[in-house]
Structures are given as structure tokens and as C-alpha cells.
């Protein structure tokens, strides 16, 4: 197919490509799990695959590290066709985290994290230092956790150990399949935030699968919405997917709760504002509530709710980064912002 003739490295408009799927197909005994998938994962991005159960997300992910072999097409990692790389060597270069982690139950936390370094023959001191570093990185104190057994950990702690283990040799690429699926909602939100920070710091390219659209839009640099057969319905930054679904299948997925998601993702801009209040002295105690330009819309709504209960006219004074007054925000500003975000011609997010 044409993809095979294209350059395998190169760029994708937004950066160098870490993994490229070229016309990839996977059949299981005559049934098609992945039909004809072409997709480029950019270096250092967190790309999230989301879609309904059975649409081919896990199969797609597992083809990247050859846990599943494609029926047709090519998958290129950096500059190499993955089918030319020994699967065991490949999996040392690509971290893999799954739901419920799959920690070895009869190995301590430290031994679990040290799995790949041990296979690679690292000496004891280097391994011990790396384990301590990784446990600290994922928020587990080595002094308290290194000698514990997996059954002595909470679900969230197990998940952290799984991430530490996957990062042990600092792989350039990390595959994650529903990594936080087994963690309670509160712990899950914290893990998501901490993981994003870790991923940004390390610069790891991450390809993650979830069926949870909220997790996808909260974590992703770009979201890939898939439908049956791993058909790409939309590939775009989270705000764009939520604000302008590219197909009925995406609209359906984004569906209920869309406004709340827009409020979480969208930001207050100048065009949303009312005129600045006449004479405003930010240093005066009577100045009234303020909000920054660029604030998250959800935070603006919260501030407006407080302001309505206060002594003023219920609006907020909007300040720029230098503290200068640029206008006022009211409920109308929120409505304008939502219209702006969802307008068909407002350009890519």
C-alpha cells in the first residue's frame, strides 16, 4: 500500500514522529479488529485512543510492541519497522502499563521495578539507585515501599509501581492500556495529574488507551476517537474534539456533559468580555471581585457565582497579566465563550 513508500520518519505538521501506523490491519479468525489504520504519534506527545468497547483500541496498542502481529500494513518506531526488531528487545525499548498492572506477586516492589534492569544485567548499585529514583518519581517513598509485597499495596500504589517498572530504563515510548481503570475516582484524578507532570518532565512519548472520554480530554495532548474497526473518527486536541465533534460518533461520545467539559477546557478571552467598568482601582478594597484573562471558564463560572452573592453588580473585573483592567466578565461572557468555542469557523484549537 502507498504508506510503505512514504518516508517513515519525517514530520507530522506538529513534530517528529515517534510511531507511525501505515495502513495497518488485524484480523482474528476472519473478523476484523483493525481495518485500515494510519496514524502518526508525535515525539513527546501524550496521545489518547478513546472509543467504545471492542473498537480495536487494545489491539492497536498491542501491535506497537508486537504482543499482537498485524495481518497487513506496517508499524514504524523511530526509523525501524517493528517487525524487523526482536520482540523481546522491542519490549525493552517500549514501556507497557496495563490495568491491574500485572506485578509479580512473589517479588517485592523493588524487585518488580528492577525487572528490566536485571534482565539487562545492570549491576546492583546502579539498579538500586534507579529503583529508588523511580519510586520517588512516582510518589512512593523508597524507604517505606521498596521491600513491600504487591498484596500490601492499595490499587493506586500498585499502579504507581507499574508505571515505575515501565519507566525503569527510561524508554522513549510508553504504551498504557486503561492504566488507571482499576483505581477509585479520587485516586484516579490524582494519578492522572501526577502522571501528566511526570510525562512532561521526562518527555516520554505516550500512547494510551481508555474508554473514558473525560480521562481522554483531561490527559491528552491529542485525542484519537475510534469507532468499530479502529476507524479514526477524529484526531485533534481535546478542546477541538469536545467543541467541534467531527462526526456523529464523536458527538455521541462527547454527548452528555459536553458543556461541563467545555468549561473545564475553554479559557476566557478578550472577545468574550463586556466593556471595562468605569474607573477601576484594583488596589481599592471596594474594587470587587477580579479574574484573570485566560482563566479556565469553569473557574470564571465559580467566581461569578460568588460575585452574584456579593455586594456588587454580579460581574467580575478582568485583568491581564500585568494587572491592567481589560474588561468585565458576566454570565453573558460565558455564553459568548461557549458560542465562540463551538462555532464551526473558529479554527483549530
Ligand X SMILES: Nc1ncnc2c1ncn2[C@@H]1O[C@H](COP(=O)(O)OP(=O)(O)OP(=O)(O)O)[C@@H](O)[C@H]1O
Site residue total, ligand X (CB under 6 A): 11
Q: Work out whether 59 is an interface residue with ligand X (CB under 6 A).
A: yes
Residues 6 or more apart whose Cβ sits within 8 Å of residue 16: 9, 10, 42, 43
Closest CB to ligand X among residues 157, 177: 177
Residue pair 106/152 in contact (Cβ under 8 Å)? The answer is: no
Q: Work out whether 179 is an interface residue with ligand X (CB under 6 A).
A: no
Could you say which DSSP state residue 276 is in? P
Q: Work out whether 227 is an interface residue with ligand X (CB under 6 A).
A: no
Closest CB to ligand X among residues 51, 95: 51
Minimal distance, residue 179 CB to ligand X, in Å: 13
Q: Work out whether 223 is an interface residue with ligand X (CB under 6 A).
A: no
Task: Output 191-194 pairs: Cβ under 8 A, ≥24 positions apart.
Answer: 191/156, 191/159, 191/160, 192/218, 192/219, 194/138, 194/139
Residue pair 17/207 in contact (Cβ under 8 Å)? The answer is: no
Residue pair 34/60 in contact (Cβ under 8 Å)? The answer is: yes
Alpha-carbon Rg of the chain, whole angstroms?
Answer: 24
Q: Work out whether 211 is an interface residue with ligand X (CB under 6 A).
A: yes
**Residue from 8, 58, 65, 108 binding ligand X (CB under 6 A):** 58
Residue pair 38/235 in contact (Cβ under 8 Å)? The answer is: no
Q: Which of residues 37-56 bind ligand X (CB under 6 A)?
A: 51, 53-56
Closest CB to ligand X among residues 61, 307: 61
Closest CB to ligand X among residues 45, 178: 178
Q: Which of residues 115-174 bind ligand X (CB under 6 A)?
A: none
Question: How remote is the C-alpha of 60 from its chain's centroid?
Answer: 17
Count of C-beta atoms within a 10 Å radius of residue 51:
26
Closest CB to ligand X among residues 63, 307: 63
Minimal distance, residue 36 CB to ligand X, in Å: 14
Closest CB to ligand X among residues 17, 55: 55
Residue ranges in contact with ligand X by CB under 6 A: 28, 33, 51, 53-59, 211
Amino acid at each position: 500500500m502507498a504508506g510503505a513508500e512514504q518516508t517513515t520518519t519525517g514530520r507530522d505538521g506538529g513534530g517528529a514522529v515517534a510511531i507511525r501506523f501505515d495502513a495497518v490491519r488485524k484480523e482474528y479468525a476472519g473478523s476484523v479488529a483493525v481495518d485500515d489504520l494510519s496514524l502518526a504519534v508525535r515525539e513527546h506527545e501524550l496521545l489518547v485512543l478513546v472509543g467504545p468497547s471492542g473498537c480495536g483500541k487494545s489491539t492497536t496498542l498491542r501491535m506497537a510492541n508486537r504482543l499482537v502481529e498485524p495481518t497487513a500494513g506496517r508499524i514504524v518506531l523511530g526509523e525501524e519497522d517493528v517487525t524487523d526488531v526482536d520482540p523481546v528487545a522491542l519490549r525493552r525499548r517500549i514501556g507497557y502499563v496495563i490495568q491491574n498492572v500485572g506485578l509479580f506477586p512473589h517479588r517485592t516492589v523493588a524487585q518488580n521495578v528492577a525487572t528490566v534492569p536485571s534482565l539487562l544485567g545492570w549491576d546492583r548499585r546502579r539498579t538500586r539507585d534507579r529503583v529508588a529514583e523511580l519510586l520517588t518519581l512516582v510518589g512512593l517513598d523508597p524507604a517505606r515501599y521498596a521491600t513491600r509485597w504487591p498484596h500490601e499495596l492499595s490499587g493506586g500504589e500498585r499502579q504507581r509501581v507499574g508505571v515505575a517498572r515501565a519507566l525503569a530504563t527510561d524508554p522513549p515510548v510508553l504504551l498504557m492500556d486503561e492504566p488507571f481503570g482499576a483505581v477509585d475516582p479520587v485516586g484516579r484524578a490524582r494519578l492522572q495529574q501526577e502522571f501528566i507532570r511526570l510525562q512532561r518532565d521526562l518527555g516520554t512519548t505516550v500512547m494510551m488507551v481508555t474508554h473514558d472520554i473525560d480521562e481522554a480530554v483531561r490527559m491528552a495532548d491529542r485525542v484519537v476517537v475510534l469507532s468499530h474497526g479502529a476507524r479514526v473518527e477524529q484526531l485533534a486536541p481535546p478542546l477541538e474534539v469536545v467543541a467541534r465533534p467531527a462526526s456523529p460518533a464523536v458527538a455521541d461520545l462527547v454527548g452528555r456533559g459536553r458543556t461541563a467539559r467545555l468549561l473545564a477546557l475553554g479559557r476566557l478571552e478578550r472577545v468574550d468580555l463586556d466593556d471595562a467598568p468605569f474607573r477601576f482601582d484594583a488596589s481599592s478594597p471596594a474594587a470587587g471581585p477580579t479574574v484573570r484573562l485566560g482563566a479556565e471558564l469553569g473557574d470564571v463560572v465559580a467566581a461569578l457565582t460568588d460575585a452574584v452573592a456579593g455586594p456588587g453588580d454580579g460581574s467580575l473585573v478582568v485583568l491581564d497579566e500585568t494587572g491592567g483592567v481589560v474588561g468585565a466578565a458576566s454570565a453573558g461572557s460565558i455564553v459568548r465563550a461557549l458560542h465562540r468555542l463551538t462555532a464551526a469557523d473558529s479554527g483549530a484549537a
